[in-house]
Structure 1
């Protein structure tokens, strides 16, 4: 079964123009113009408090804009019903908010709720099974969600998003609580979704992960979009040092050629003689 595609690959699936939100007289985000195309991974990076999660909430329709608008394949996001939005885009929040003792299988099945009463219900069982396998939570199917570790909860929540089976995925820090193996597993799945035609936007703090898996990177700083483009165009030492306020080195991996971004430290950790 193929993955859903909201629009043809390469065409804009989500478009923001003049987007901004103001709270208590202060602009948290302002003047953002951004497109997300089917078939691509767009990573959003930036320091803490820059406005990344606010941007994702605006794009998802979870937060009404103070200025501008978001178009989701012809649907004006802030005017659309929750059900119509849920059938067009799936959202992974930064922190799972579920506290009731549902099993992992029940949590993943919640992703199918927007399709209740439609012909798409026929695919529920297959999509739930595939989503749990892709997120490596099949073995946790009968575990109670609140008893899981933070990383296990993150994977189960990602499986719920996959089971929703929409053409646009909006992911807020999908790898934040994960070990190295599961970071790679989730981002490989994200990449596969885009390669299959989905439009994926992911807020990431891990810049090397963004460089490795994203087609484009958007940099948010102090509530504004300050750069966006291909990783090699955006991830420069001058820009990153200005945005993050720390010296960094950007270089190419000697084997893969991929970009590596690391803070420039005055003193390296000792490589010999350290206690074990």
Structure 2
């Protein structure tokens, strides 16, 4: 069963031109989709549409086979969790208090025991149990990002939306965060700039250009020079790993001379 289906998604901002055009894909339960593209290509706008924030798109986005137009805001809030690029919480909050905010969509629809169990599960999944009594102000950037992820997981969502979740993390922190997300077993859509992380993380890749769907498929189908160069100006190569010989995907941006005259 598909957690999410998108049918010819189109969105025009009030008073402006089209921001999303003819985007269609299915996200099976438990799979992960990476959304890539240059700045301004519509990645964040797409996430807004997929979380139900753009009413004009409600008949084009289906959650569990039901269009958003037939779902209440409360239902969407319980089924979809969103982790933004930037979060500005009150740094005086303790970690467990911050994560508990993820249970707000369930107010009046869950028991205190269910809330407590969801919070503890989120702490365990993100490795924050030992930090639960710490204040946010005392956490490192990576720890704070894990706390934001835990807050989203406390919602017990069917779909997790991540907007550039690795932006402010070092390489080790990026790998750890994406590995944790991959182990969750829930459906995930993440916008990513780090193309090197996609092979190990995503089941499918959606490439956007000027708000339109430039390519959609597996990493092997999308992370190719033929797809990437017209959109991102990048080339993709498969080379043997220097230690174990396994296939390793690397990316390169040709210099201006190569773009103008072709490879030397």
TM-score (norm 2): 0.85
Q: Superposition pairs for residues 220-239 of structure 1, below 5 Å?
A: 220-239=208-227
- Contact kept in structure 2, 1:42 and 1:215, CA below 8 Å: yes
In the alignment, the residues of structure 2 paired with residue 15 and residue 133 of structure 1 have an alpha-carbon distance, to the nearest angstrom, of 30
* C-alpha distance 121-166 of structure 1, shift in aligned 2 (>3 A): farther
In the alignment, which residue of structure 1 is the partner of 2:259?
none
Query: Is 1:251 matched up with 2:241?
Result: no
Deviation at 1:233, TM superposition (A): 0.9
CA RMSD of aligned residues (A): 2.3
* C-alpha distance 248-120 of structure 1, shift in aligned 2 (>3 A): farther
SS of the residue aligned with 1:94? coil
SS of the residue aligned with 1:164? coil
Query: Is 1:204 matched up with 2:192?
Result: yes
In the alignment, the residues of structure 2 paired with residue 237 and residue 154 of structure 1 have an alpha-carbon distance, to the nearest angstrom, of 32
Query: Is 1:131 matched up with 2:119?
Result: no
Q: Superposition pairs for residues 92-111 of structure 1, below 5 Å?
A: 92-99=83-90, 101-111=92-102
In the alignment, the residues of structure 2 paired with residue 50 and residue 43 of structure 1 have an alpha-carbon distance, to the nearest angstrom, of 14
Structure 1 runs not aligned, ≥5 long: 1-10, 267-276
- Contact kept in structure 1, 2:52 and 2:58, CA below 8 Å: no
In the alignment, which residue of structure 1 is the partner of 2:11?
21
* Cα deviations by residue, 1:207-228 (Å, 9 ceiling, x for unpaired): 1111221111111111001111
In the alignment, the residues of structure 2 paired with residue 259 and residue 87 of structure 1 have an alpha-carbon distance, to the nearest angstrom, of 39
Q: Superposition pairs for residues 145-184 of structure 1, below 5 Å?
A: 145=136, 148-184=139-175
* Cα deviations by residue, 1:178-218 (Å, 9 ceiling, x for unpaired): 22222122211221123xxx211111111111122111111
Give the number of equivalent residue pairs. 252
Deviation at 1:258, TM superposition (A): 5.0
* C-alpha distance 76-227 of structure 1, shift in aligned 2 (>3 A): same
- Contact kept in structure 2, 1:18 and 1:68, CA below 8 Å: no
Query: Is 1:263 matched up with 2:252?
Result: yes
Deviation at 1:79, TM superposition (A): 5.3
In the alignment, which residue of structure 2 is the partner of 1:192?
183
* C-alpha distance 98-257 of structure 1, shift in aligned 2 (>3 A): same
- Contact kept in structure 2, 1:19 and 1:31, CA below 8 Å: yes
- Contact kept in structure 2, 1:235 and 1:250, CA below 8 Å: no
Segment of structure 1 superposing worse, 119-128 or 55-64: 119-128
In the alignment, the residues of structure 2 paired with residue 124 and residue 141 of structure 1 have an alpha-carbon distance, to the nearest angstrom, of 15
In the alignment, which residue of structure 2 is the partner of 1:71?
62
In the alignment, the residues of structure 2 paired with residue 258 and residue 87 of structure 1 have an alpha-carbon distance, to the nearest angstrom, of 40
Structure 2 runs not aligned, ≥5 long: 256-264
Segment of structure 1 superposing worse, 222-231 or 178-187: 178-187
